[in-house]
């Protein structure tokens, strides 16, 4: 996806956005997780993906692509090509219109197992705080929890995940809250909570119905050019970070500033 969408100008993305470095799972740890690894280890992950797909009966893969920004749908063909390179040219992989494939359908598909693999590919501008990234989506009472329409008592979220999500809301010490955030991300990625870089046991994974419900694989890197007299410029102001402009200033003594019209 990094190569096909952004020509390599991007980074691996954990469940919390990489730009929010205070809360995002460290990149070196993420790079040790199966599916995110590179080199010879990545080839091993691809082989295992093929084996798991075959063992599941080669179910059809349907994905919807967000239409905002408008260029996102143009990546659909590239995604089909990439997936078929892994699963084989005969794999039934298709793009669906976004409207009928909503998040509730995706949630229900996860609960059913591997009868079908529904997913959506979208662009997210991200959020500011750890809680914004995890609580609304993954807590059993989260406002953006796609599983809420399931019958009462069938929530796929277990008490351990709810406990971690609630604990990070109560914690006032940043270092302790950061570690809770790392634990939440490890949980969602199917990792062992006590041993960084180690996959959880099959018995433990069976308890985690929310694992891989949402994966943020990549984040693009913006390349911006500005005059050297513009100081403290951070690219780029967007939703939730326009306050960065408060520290931008013009160095009128810089040689590049001289002679410019006022």
- Residues 80 and 39 both lie in one domain: yes
3 or 226: which leads in pLDDT: 226
Q: Say which residue, 159 or 172, is predicted with more confidence.
A: 172
pLDDT for the residue 98: 62
In the prediction, which pLDDT does 194 show?
Answer: 83
pLDDT score recorded for residue 103: 60
Q: Cis check for the bond before 69: say yes or no (omega within 30 of 0).
A: yes
Q: Where does the chain have alpha helices with state H?
A: 2-6, 27-30, 39-55, 76-87, 103-112, 130-138, 159-170, 174-188, 202-207
pLDDT tens-place string over residues 122-171: 777 667 899 999 998 888 888 877 665 555 555 556 788 899 999 999 99
- Asked whether residue 94 falls in the same domain as residue 118, the answer is yes
Contact yes or no for 26/191 (Cβ under 8 A): no
Read off the tokens for 186.
């490890």
pLDDT, averaged across the chain: 82
The token duo for 86 is 């892994």
**Residue 50 confidence class, pLDDT cut points 50, 70, 90:** very high
Arithmetic mean of pLDDT, 160-183:
95
Same structural domain, 83 and 185: yes
For 224-231, what is the mean pLDDT? Answer: 89
Both 210 and 250 in one domain: the answer is: no
**CA angle, 99 then 104 then 105, to 5°:** 70
For residues 65 and 86, which has the higher predicted lDDT (pLDDT)? 86
We report the CATH number of the domain holding residue 175 as 3.10.105
With contact defined as beta carbons under 8 Å apart, do 139 and 148 qualify? no
Is there a single domain that holds both residue 99 and residue 215? yes
> Which of 108-117, 181-190, 212-221 has the weakest average pLDDT?
108-117
Domain range enclosing 236: 225-262
- Does the CA dihedral 36-37-39-40 come out positive or negative? negative
Closest CA to 15 of 153, 185, 175, 173: 185
Residues 83-117 pLDDT 10s: 899 999 999 988 877 655 556 666 666 666 556 66
**Which has more pLDDT, 211 or 205?**
205
Q: Give the C-alpha separation, 77 to 65, whole Å.
A: 11
* 128 lies in the same domain as 96: yes
Same domain, 109 and 230: no
Q: What is the pLDDT of residue 159?
A: 83
Retrieve residue 207's tokens: 């308890």
- Identify whether the C-beta of residue 164 lies closer than 8 Å to the C-beta of residue 184: yes
Compute the C-alpha angle 119/120/126, nearest 5°. Answer: 130
Query: Same domain, yes or no, for 238 and 192?
Result: no
Q: Are 140 and 213 in a shared domain?
A: yes
CA distance 186 to 176: 15
Whether residues 167 and 62 share a domain: the answer is yes
Q: What is the pLDDT of residue 176?
A: 97
Q: How is residue 45 written in tokens?
A: 């992950």
Residue 20 has what pLDDT? 84
Q: Are residues 210 and 233 in the same domain?
A: no
Residues 229 and 197 both lie in one domain = no
Q: What is the share, in percent, of the chain residues with pLDDT greater than 90?
A: 28
212 phi, psi to nearest 5 deg: 65, 15
Count of domains observed in the chain: 2
């Amino acid at each position: 996806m990094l190569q096909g969408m952004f020509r390599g100008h991007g980074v691996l993305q954990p469940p919390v956005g990489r730009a929010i470095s205070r809360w995002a799972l460290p990149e070196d740890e993420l790079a040790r997780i199966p599916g995110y690894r590179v080199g010879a280890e990545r080839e091993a992950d691809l082989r295992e993906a093929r084996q798991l797909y075959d063992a599941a009966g080669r179910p059809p893969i349907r994905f919807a692509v967000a239409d905002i920004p408008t260029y996102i749908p143009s990546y659909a063909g590239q995604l089909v090509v990439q997936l078929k390179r892994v699963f084989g040219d005969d794999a039934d992989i298709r793009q669906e219109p976004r409207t009928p494939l909503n998040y509730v359908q995706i949630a229900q598909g996860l609960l059913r197992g591997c009868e079908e693999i529904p997913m959506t590919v979208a662009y997210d501008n991200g959020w500011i705080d750890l809680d914004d990234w995890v609580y609304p989506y993954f807590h059993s009472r989260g406002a953006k929890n796609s599983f809420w329409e399931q019958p009462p008592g069938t929530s796929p979220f277990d008490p351990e995940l709810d406990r971690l999500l609630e604990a990070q809301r109560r914690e006032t010490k940043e270092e302790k809250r950061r570690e809770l955030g790392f634990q939440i991300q490890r949980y969602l990625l199917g990792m062992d909570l006590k041993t960084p870089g180690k996959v959880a046991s099959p018995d433990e994974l069976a308890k985690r119905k929310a694992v891989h419900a949402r994966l943020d694989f990549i984040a693009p890197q913006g390349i911006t050019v500005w005059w050297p007299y513009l100081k403290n410029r951070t690219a780029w102001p967007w939703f939730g970070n326009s306050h960065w402009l408060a520290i931008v200033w013009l160095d009128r003594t810089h040689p590049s500033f001289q002679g410019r019209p006022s």
